[in-house]
Amino acid sequence: MTADDASWAPGEIVYGTGDIEINQGARRVEMEILNTGDRPVQVGSHVHLPQSNAALRFDRAAAHGHRLDIPAGTAVRFEPGVAQRVSLVPLRGSREVYGLSLQPPGRLDT
């Protein structure tokens, strides 16, 4: 594809053929999350799940070091009073979390 090609657009992403498997090889954890609040809560793809909204009821200890198993840049919406089954994957990279409610902030693995 070149700039002279009429179908080309700046910043365009051209995918190959076949399916794309996200988080390939990651160990997945399944759990149920219930929104006990009175408003919908959205949790983004890179949020350390135990640090998410306090109205969400789930096993935060079991979710330590994990995030939702969803594509980057997306989110899951939890409606009030509705339980939802989700899949989690471990946070990768340096596994350091800052700026949310982790006490103390920093490395997830000691």
Within 8 A by CB and 6+ apart from 5, the residues are: none
pTM: 0.78
**What share of the chain in percent tops pLDDT 90?**
63
pLDDT confidence of residue 15? 80
Is 13 inside a domain boundary? no
SS (H, E, C) 37-49: CCCCEEEECCCCH
Q: Domain range for residue 82?
A: 29-89
Is 64 inside a domain boundary? yes
Nearest to 55, CA basis, from 79, 91, 75: 79
Is 57 inside a domain boundary? yes
Is 50 inside a domain boundary? yes
Any idea what the CATH number is for the domain that residue 74 is in?
2.10.150.10
pLDDT confidence of residue 100? 67
Number of domains forming the structure of the chain: 1
Is 103 inside a domain boundary? no
